[in-house]
Amino acid sequence: MGETGVKMAEVKASYCVQCGKCSGSCPAAKFLEMRPRKVVLMYHLGMVDELIKSGWMWMCADCLACEERCPYEVGPHSLIMELRAYCARKGLKLPAYYRQVASNITKTGFVQEPVSIRTRARRRVDRSSLGLPEPKGPSRLEDFAEKVRKLLEVSMS
Amino acid sequence: MKVLLFLGCTVQTEQYAYELSVRSVLPKLGVELIDMPESNCCGYPVKSISPMAWAYMAGRLMAIAEREGLPLLTLCNGCHLSLTELKWALTEQPDLLDKLNELLEPEGLKLEGKTEVIHVLELLYERLGPEAIREHLARELRGLRLAAHYGCHLLRPSTLGRPDDPENPRKLDELIEALGASPVDYPGKLDCCGSGLAPFHGREAMKMVGWKLLEAKKAGVDALVVMCPFCMKMLDGKQTVASRLVGQDVGLPVVYYTQLLGLAMGMSPGELGLELNLSPVERLLAKMGVKM
Ligand code: SF4
Ligand code: SF4
Residue type, A107: K
Going by C-alpha positions, the residue among B79, B160, B172, B71 that lies closest to residue B117 is: B71
What pLDDT sits at residue A3? 55
Average pLDDT over residues B242-267: 98
Residues of B in contact with A140 (CB under 8 A): 107
DSSP characters for B42-76? -SGGGTTT-HHHHHHHHHHHHHHHHHHT-PEEE--
Q: pLDDT digit string (tens) for B120-158?
A: 999 999 999 999 999 999 999 999 999 999 999 999 999
Interface predicted TM-score (ipTM): 0.94
Q: Is B89 helix (H, G, I), strand (E, B) or coil?
A: helix
CA-based nearest distance B131→chain A, Å: 30
Query: What DSSP state is assigned to residue B6?
Result: E
Bridge partner list, B148: B225
Report in angstroms the alpha-carbon separations of B159 from A56, A65, A67, A102, B93: 25, 12, 10, 29, 16
Instruction: With CB atoms and an 8 Å threshold, state whether A133 touches B35.
Output: yes
**CATH 1.20.1050.140 placement within chain B:** 2-119
- Indicate the burial class of B234 (C-beta count within 10 angstroms; 0-12, 13-18, 19 or more): buried
Q: Residue B254 forms beta bridges with which residues? A: B224
Supply the angle between the helices A141-156 and A96-108 in degrees, to the nearest 10: 160
Helices (H), chain A: 3-13, 21-25, 36-44, 48-54, 65-69, 76-89, 96-108, 141-156
Judged on CB neighbours under 10 Å (0-12, 13-18, 19+), A33 is exposed
Q: A33, A68, A79, A152: which to substitute to probe chain B, counting the most B Cβ within 10 Å? A: A68
Say whether A155 sits in a helix, a strand or coil: helix
Q: First CA to last CA across chain A, in angstroms?
A: 19
pLDDT at B246 over 70: yes
From-to residues of CATH 3.40.50.11810 in chain B: 139-288
Q: Across chain B, what does the average pLDDT equal?
A: 97
What domains can you pick out in chain A, each with its CATH number? Answer: 6-89 (1.10.1060.10), 96-155 (no CATH)
For a pocket test of ligand 2, which of A21, A31, A60 has the largest count of ligand atoms closer than 8 A to its C-beta? Answer: A60
Residue B266: count of CB within 10 angstroms of its CB:
12
What average pLDDT score do residues B279-291 get? 96
Q: Is the CB of A14 under 6 A from ligand 1?
A: no
Closest atom of ligand 2 to CA, residue A29: 8
Q: Going residue by residue through chain A, which has 157 residues, state the pLDDT in tens, using 9 for 90 and above.
A: 445 566 777 888 999 999 999 999 999 999 999 999 999 999 999 999 999 999 999 999 999 999 999 999 999 999 999 999 999 999 999 999 999 999 999 999 999 999 999 998 899 999 999 999 999 999 999 999 999 999 998 665 4
pLDDT band at B292 (very low <50, low <70, confident <90, very high): confident
Q: How many CB atoms lie within 10 A of CB A120?
A: 15
Length of chain B: 292
Q: List, for residues B6-33, the tens digit of each pLDDT value.
A: 999 999 999 999 999 999 999 999 999 9
At residue B48, the pLDDT reads 94
| pLDDT over 80 at B248, yes or no | yes
Instruction: Please choose, from the candidates B273, B265, B36, B12, the residue with its C-alpha nearest in 3D space to the C-alpha of residue B128.
Output: B265
Q: Can you give the C-alpha Rg of chain A in angstroms?
A: 20
Q: How many CB atoms lie within 10 A of CB B290?
A: 17
> Considering the domain B139-288 in this protein, what is its CATH number?
3.40.50.11810
Architecture of the domain delimited by B2-119: Up-down Bundle (1.20)
pLDDT at A1: 41
pLDDT given at position B163: 97
